[in-house]
Amino acid sequence: MSNKALRILIADPQHFHRMKIERLFNALGYYRVAPVQTLGELLTLVDYGCEPFDVLVINAELAAGSLDLLGFLLDNPQVRHALIYNEQSAPLQALAGFAQESAQISPTPLPNLQLIGQVMARVEARDERQAPPDSHASLRHANA
């Protein structure tokens, strides 16, 4: 069961790419999507946002040479999970600890429905494991 309240941030310099990725999320039932085209917009939303983003989907070329994405994600509680795509140079071995569960790197130039689905399944599964036990009970009572 997907959590429709998840906050998703898409960062890509190409309007068509942002639109296509947003439609993939919409096809999976996720509609709380914020698209940005520049690194400055991304940093502003993350730094000054009231709530953390549950998922960041970012084109690696957006931060090329100006930001260490993995370092940024490891040190930032405002981004819970990330998919970095179009990344040709980062070795997958660089992911350790937190990053192995919370960040995924893909060399694909643009994510497809299968990749977005895999990321969201991991996000949903991890959030389900971290939910307090009594939250399930309150949901059962609310649905009864």
What pLDDT was estimated at residue 3?
86
Q: From residue 134, give the alpha-carbon distance in Å to each of 44, 48, 73, 139.
A: 35, 31, 30, 9
Give the tens place of pLDDT for each residue, 113-131.
Answer: 999 999 999 999 877 766 6
Q: From residue 84, give the alpha-carbon distance in Å to each of 79, 134, 137.
A: 13, 34, 35
Distance CA 49, CA 95 (A): 26
Give the tens place of pLDDT for each residue, 32-64.
Answer: 999 999 999 999 999 998 999 999 999 999 998
Is the per-residue pLDDT at 91 higher than 60?
Answer: no
Q: How many residues does the chain have?
A: 144
Q: Are 3 and 127 in contact (CB under 8 A)?
A: yes
Q: Which fold has domain 8-143?
A: Rossmann fold (3.40.50)
In the structure encoding, which two tokens stand for residue 60, read together? 């690696």
Instruction: Report domain extents, the chain.
Output: 8-143
